[in-house]
């Protein structure tokens, strides 16, 4: 990993009286969500984005950031050096090993997904203590925190609320649920017995993403990836064997709606928030209905269904739908894309352009 060049001086500016520049830190910045988030934050006028990822960011992404680092969120010395260079006021902690990949290396997934989050939560509280302002910590959780015991219960449960069925069957789901609880602990109970306790250092907010579908990036290592893989294969003329049954149903949303939801939650007035973890999602088609949409726009697509039973079991334990009323009521969650608009207005035009290049 390439840490910041040793001896790099803290970034300061005259109008801050020599104090370090403020920064918005995005971990996992080179991933699917990070890719869209950097562009959206830059589009909103933020010029103090600091990106961290294990891989070097693409040039067009680096150019939207004030700084970018290659490194591991488990590398404490790297995080310390980041601390020394910037006054971090907001963190979007996106770095994670997704559900399928995590099942092959569960202990590594725990180390990265939970150990990394713990490092960032500690970094955030130290930052708040040192510069005297609360740090906003935005954490993407997942529908993987849910664990429906069987298909009958899954379909009877319908749209599950945040506090129902939180019994995950995957290491990734366990990790995400643990991180939600760690975030709430750091925000509300951190060092609660210490004499020198300082309250209110962290403003932790989390949203449970469903399957995300992007026109710009292909997913990797997720168990909800069948939707994106099917769409991109159909559009690029490749045959696709879907790894779940036709009747498989989970909630999804498009990447632009996911980024918009994350920024809306981040901007929400704290007094309006009745909880720190929210469900989001906007459509919940069956795998067959996704295929129907793909065939409508790419009639030559060759799509078959060859369920991978262990992965099928994971998806069957996730809810058929999620109740998003708390997000709508508290901070105005309002996704633009339902299934048909996701294809007509976003996926098909953008993906056709992408594969035409
Ligand atoms: C995955 O498929 O693992 C993720 C998720 C549902 O959080 N995309």
Rounded Cα distance between 28 and 96, Å, is: 7
Domain assignment present for residue 345? The answer is no
Chain center to CA of 8 = 30
> What ligand 1 atom has the least distance to the C-alpha of 224?
2
CA dihedral 34, 40, 45, 48 (to 10 degrees): 0
Contact 306, 278 (CB under 8 A): no
Structural domain contains residue 59 = no
pLDDT confidence of residue 14? 61
- State which residues of the chain have pLDDT below 70: 1-18
Q: Compute the mean pLDDT over every residue in the chain, rounded to the nearest whole number.
A: 93
Give domain status of residue 182, yes or no.
Answer: yes
pLDDT at position 83 is 82
Instruction: Burial-class residue 329 by CB neighbours within 10 Å (0-12, 13-18, 19+).
Output: exposed
Please check whether residue 25 lies inside any domain of the structure.
no
Residues 6+ apart with CB under 8 A from 23: 11, 48, 49, 50, 66, 67, 86, 87, 88, 89
Which tokens sit at 41? 């934050």
> Could you tell me if residue 196 is inside a domain?
yes
Domain CATH code at residue 262? 3.40.50.720
- Alpha-carbon span 357 to 347, nearest angstrom: 16
**CB under 8 Å to 169, separation ≥6 — which residues?**
147, 313, 314, 317
Q: Whose CA is closest to atom 1 on ligand 1?
A: 222
Specify the pLDDT at position 357.
75
Cβ-contact 108, 54 below 8 angstroms: no
**How many whole angstroms from 211 Cα to the centroid of ligand 1?**
6
- Do the bridges between strand 49-53 and strand 67-70 make them parallel or antiparallel, or are there none, so unpaired? parallel
| Both structure tokens of 340 | 């048909």
Ligand 1 neighbour 209 (Cβ under 6 A): yes
Distance 223 CA to ligand 1 centre (A): 6
Edge-first strand listing for the sheet containing 49-53 = 67-70, 49-53, 22-27, 87-93, 135-142, 202-209, 277-279
Tell me which long-range contacts 196-203 makes (C-beta under 8 A, separation of at least 24): 198/128, 198/129, 200/134, 201/124, 201/125, 201/128, 201/129, 201/134, 201/135, 202/121, 202/124, 202/125, 202/128, 202/134, 202/135, 202/137, 203/134, 203/135, 203/136, 203/137, 203/270
Best of 28, 173, 207, 211 to mutate for ligand 1, by most ligand atoms within 8 A of CB? 211
Q: For ligand 1, what atom is nearest to the CA of residue 212?
A: 8
Span 133-173, pLDDT tens digits: 999 999 999 999 999 999 999 999 999 999 999 999 999 99
Q: Flag whether 189 is in a domain.
A: yes
54: tokens are 């294990």
**Nearest protein Cα to ligand 1, atom 7:** 142
Report the percentage of the chain scoring pLDDT > 70.
Answer: 95
Q: Look up the domain containing 160 and give its range.
A: 96-212+252-282+320-337
Ligand 1 mean position to 195 CA, how many Å? 41
The answer to whether residue 183 is domain-embedded is yes
Question: From the CA of 146, how far away is ligand 1's center (Å)?
Answer: 12
Q: What are φ and ψ of residue 269, in 5° steps?
A: -65, 125
Q: How many domains does the chain have?
A: 1
Whether 75 is covered by a domain: the verdict is: no
223 lines ligand 1 (CB under 6 A): yes
CB 184 within 8 A of CB 178: no
Bridge partners of 213? Answer: 254
Q: Is the CB of 222 under 6 A from ligand 1?
A: yes
pLDDT at 2: 40
Over the stretch 222-248, which tens digit does the pLDDT of each residue have? Answer: 999 999 999 999 999 999 999 999 999
Q: Which of 345, 231, 327 is nearest to 281 (CA)?
A: 327
Nearest CA to ligand 1 atom 2: 222
Residue 141 in contact with ligand 1 by CB distance below 6 A: no
CA–centroid distance, 115 to ligand 1, in Å, is: 19
Confidence at residue 4, expressed as pLDDT on a 0 to 100 scale: 45
> How high is the pLDDT of residue 16?
62
């Amino acid at each position: 990993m390439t840490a910041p060049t040793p001896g790099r001086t803290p970034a300061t500016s005259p109008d801050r009286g020599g104090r370090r520049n403020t920064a918005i830190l995005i971990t996992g910045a080179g991933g699917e969500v990070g890719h869209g988030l950097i562009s959206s934050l830059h589009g909103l006028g933020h010029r103090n984005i600091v990106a961290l990822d294990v891989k070097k960011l693409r040039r067009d992404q680096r150019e939207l950031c004030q700084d970018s680092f290659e490194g591991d969120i488990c590398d404490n010395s790297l995080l310390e050096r980041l601390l020394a260079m910037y006054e971090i006021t907001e963190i979007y902690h996106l770095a994670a090993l997704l559900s399928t990949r995590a099942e092959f290396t569960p202990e590594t997934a725990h180390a990265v997904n939970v150990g990394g989050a713990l490092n960032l939560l500690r970094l955030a509280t130290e930052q708040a203590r040192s510069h005297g302002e609360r740090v906003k910590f935005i954490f993407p959780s997942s529908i993987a925190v849910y664990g429906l015991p069987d298909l009958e219960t899954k379909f009877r449960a319908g749209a599950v609320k945040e506090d129902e069925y939180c019994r995950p069957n995957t290491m990734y789901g366990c990790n995400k649920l643990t991180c939600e609880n760690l975030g709430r602990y750091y925000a509300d109970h951190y060092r609660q017995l210490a004499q020198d306790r300082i309250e209110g250092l962290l403003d932790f907010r989390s949203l449970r993403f469903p399957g995300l579908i992007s026109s710009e990036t292909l997913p990797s290592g997720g168990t909800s990836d069948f939707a994106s893989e099917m769409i991109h294969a159909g559009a690029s003329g490749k045959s696709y064997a879907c790894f779940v049954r036709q009747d498989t149903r989970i909630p999804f949303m498009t990447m632009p709606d996911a980024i918009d939801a994350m920024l809306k939650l981040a901007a929400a007035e704290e007094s309006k928030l009745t909880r720190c973890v929210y469900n989001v999602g906007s459509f919940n088609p069956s795998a067959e209905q996704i295929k129907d949409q793909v065939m409508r726009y790419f009639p030559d697509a060759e799509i078959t269904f060859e369920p991978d039973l262990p992965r099928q079991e994971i998806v069957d334990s996730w809810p058929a739908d999620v109740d998003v009323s708390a997000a709508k009521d508290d901070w105005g969650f309002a996704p633009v894309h339902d299934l048909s608009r996701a294809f007509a207005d976003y996926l098909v035009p953008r993906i056709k352009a992408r594969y035409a290049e």
